[in-house]
Structure formats: structure tokens, C-alpha cells
């Protein structure tokens, strides 16, 4: 049995065409089914639905043989024990720094001020500001980051930006782009050895579909 870990939403939706290229069709819709293990048209392949941040953990410990996860999640996890054969170029967005429109970020940085930064992505934020030589106090949040500068909890946030609509709706402005984000295929290293042929077939089919797009 080959088990693929996916998260609901954009990653699930955008992985479906790649699965199709590998001859795999998921037989239930996660938006209507409450099942966490979804069968496919191939008796030897199943999909498990996990929280986006849990995908690398499932694959690392062999709860799934392979998974699809954002570069953001992978960097926060650390990537240990994971083979990362492909950038799938799906679920694209960017990791950025944003502040209230009335906060002068450039001059705060120039003056060497200590910044309070709220984020779910503490590893990425720590590394980014350390490289810039900016002193920060990181405040770990699990969601609704946009609220932090509006309530005085933080000067800035580090968060994912896609259309920019969430920032705009909360009167925040993007002041730095840290990195582009897309989703990666990750594979358990033991699975790759023990189930080499079927896993290679999936990797090759995904790679083929990507080269055509």
C-alpha cells in the first residue's frame, strides 16, 4: 500500500491533476466526506488527509510514504528524514513582512529599533531578520496574524501573501518579500527504498506532468 498525505483545500485541489497524470483518481471529495482516509481508483494507493503543518511529520515517521507540503511548512519542520524530489509549482504564494500603513518600517530598521514581530513562521522569520541584522522579539501565533499590528501586539507580521486581499482588508502593507513559496513533493526515505517501483512511478509521472505545463 502506498499512502499519500495531503491537506484539504488548495494543496488537495492542485495535486489532483498531478495524481491524474499518474493514473490515480481520488474517489471521495474531502469537502463533502468526513473520512480521513480516501480510497483511489488504484487499490494499492490511498490518500490521508492531515493538517498542512502535519504533512512533513506524517511522512518523516512513515505514517505516510509521501506527501505534498508548502515550502513554508517544510522550512518550519526542518525537512529531516525527508527526500524532496520535486518542486510541484502549485499553491504558489510568498512569505512577506507586513506592517500597519502608518508604521515607518524602513526608518525603524535604519535606526536599529527592536521590532516586535508576530508570526506562525518563527524559524523563517528568525533567520530572515538575523541575516538582515535586525533585532526582533518574535511572538508565536497560530492564526489571524493580521490582527497583531492592529491591536498593538506587534509592530510587524511575517505571513503568507497570495492576492494581498487579506492585508488590504486589514489596512496592512507588505514591506518586504522574504521568499517565494510553492508546494513540494516529500518522500519517506525508507519507503523510497522499500517501495521503490511504485513511488518512482508516481515521482516520474508528476515530473512528466510538470514538464508539460
* Site for ligand PRP, rule CB under 6 A: 143, 159-166
Nearer to ligand PRP, 10 or 81 (CB): 10
**And the C-alpha cell for 109?**
530598521
To which H or E segment does residue 115 belong? strand 115-119
Do the beta carbons of residue 138 and residue 155 sit within 8 Å?
no
Minimum distance, C-beta of residue 196 to ligand PRP, in the bound complex (Å): 34
Instruction: Give the shortest CB-144-to-ligand PRP separation in angstroms.
Output: 7
d(CA 65, CA 44): 12
In the complex, least distance from residue 69 CB atom to ligand PRP, rounded to whole angstroms? 13
CB of 194 to ligand PRP, least distance (A): 34
Please name which of 201, 213, 173 lies closest in space to residue 92, comparing C-alpha atoms. 213
Contact 188, 66 (CB under 8 A): yes
Amino acid at each position: 500500500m502506498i499512502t499519500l498525505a495531503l491537506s484539504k483545500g488548495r494543496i488537495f485541489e492542485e495535486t489532483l491533476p498531478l495524481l491524474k497524470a499518474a493514473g490515480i483518481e481520488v474517489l471521495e471529495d474531502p469537502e463533502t466526506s468526513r473520512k480521513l482516509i480516501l480510497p483511489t481508483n488504484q487499490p494499492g494507493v490511498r490518500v490521508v488527509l492531515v493538517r498542512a503543518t502535519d504533512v512533513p511529520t506524517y511522512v518523516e515517521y512513515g505514517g505516510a510514504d509521501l506527501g505534498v507540503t508548502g515550502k513554508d511548512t517544510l522550512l518550519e519542520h526542518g525537512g529531516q528524514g525527508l527526500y524532496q524530489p520535486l518542486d510541484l509549482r502549485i499553491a504558489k504564494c510568498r512569505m512577506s513582512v507586513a506592517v500597519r500603513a502608518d508604521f515607518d518600517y524602513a526608518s525603524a530598521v535604519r535606526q536599529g529599533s527592536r521590532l516586535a514581530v508576530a508570526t506562525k513562521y518563527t524559524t523563517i522569520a528568525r533567520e530572515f531578520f538575523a541575516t538582515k541584522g535586525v533585532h526582533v522579539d518574535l511572538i508565536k501565533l497560530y492564526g489571524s496574524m493580521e490582527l497583531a499590528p492592529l491591536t498593538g501586539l506587534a509592530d510587524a507580521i511575517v505571513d503568507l501573501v497570495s492576492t494581498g486581499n487579506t492585508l488590504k482588508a486589514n489596512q496592512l502593507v507588505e514591506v518586504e518579500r522574504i521568499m517565494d513559496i510553492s508546494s513540494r513533493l516529500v518522500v519517506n526515505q525508507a519507503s523510497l527504498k522499500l517501495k521503490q517501483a511504485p513511488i518512482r512511478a508516481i515521482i516520474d509521472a508528476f515530473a512528466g506532468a510538470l514538464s508539460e505545463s
